[in-house]
Amino acid sequence: MSSKTSFKPQGIIPAVVTPLTPAGKFNEQAMRQLIKYLIDGGVHGLFITGTTGEFYGLTPEEKREIFQVTLDETNGRIPVYAGTNGITTRESVMLTQLAEECKIDAVSVLTPMFITPSQDQLYTHYQTIAANTSLPVLLYNNPPKTGVNLTAATVAKLADIPNIVSIKDSSGDLTLTAEYIRLTQGREDFNVLMGRDTLIYGALCYGAAGSIASCANVAPRLCADIYDKFMAGDLKGSLEAQFRLAPLRIAFTIGTFPAVIKESLALLGIDAGPCMEPVGPMTTEEREKLRQVLIGMGLLK
């Protein structure tokens, strides 16, 4: 196990979609175009092969290719985080070691899904993953998707492990996020990231270090403004940016996740391609509704 790392996850980190060709293969050219768009938009990191990146449908070989292309295009300008999620500890360890071999900066590990481990079992799961890599590890809590919740007490205990450096909380429960922050405050080497895009400003007020945000694929500058303005002391500007972003996150329900993000990118001229089946394309009516949201946000003319 490594000594406590100085790596600090912070700022706005898009949960990057995985662009696909019509045949469902990884689209390298579109990925490079998307990365340029995100970095030009002022984001502070990139998070690949997560929930938004449809990690559940990618083979280890495809993940390796995505890691390599992202690192090549990013070229050290901002950190690259990779999701190394598995239902079993064994799978997560294998994917984490693959990410380390590719020289990814840090990994994010979602709680197991489909099974419902106890808090003690979750502790052991993360402890084992951290012990098998020298990379910084981010915990990832997303009970609406997995049915598994990391309690604040478990997270406070996991924060003692040297290379566990952060948690992304997508629970949507701001009380829980605040408890993560309260129970780990005063630790220079652990912080909390918001995973629900409508709550970035609220989490920053509590002391979160930033957000891993799906909406940042589509509106990187707007998301970055929430963080940058907050850090500069412009709370009014930060809150305005948060309110301007809200309709996009709320529009996620128009199609099956992550179709809304990919369709939004297509409307902005970035060909992110289809989602993995069984998730299908949005209807003409849904797409028009989404187009109106993007126009209302000033992202489309």
Active site residues: 140, 168
Asked if residues 43 and 78 have their Cβ atoms less than 8 Å apart, the reply is yes
Flag whether 129 is marked binding: no
Asked if residues 254 and 248 have their Cβ atoms less than 8 Å apart, the reply is no
CA angle 96, 98, 103 (to 5 degrees): 95
CA distance 41 to 171: 26
Which tokens go with 282?
Answer: 């949005």
CA distance 89 to 112: 8
Number of H helices, E strands in the chain: 12, 8
Flag whether 212 is marked binding: yes
CA distance 90 to 119: 18
Task: Check residue 78 and report its DSSP letter.
Answer: S
Which tokens go with 244?
Answer: 């301007």
Going by the annotation, the residues of the binding site are 52, 212
Q: Which residues are annotated as a binding site for pyruvate?
A: 52, 212
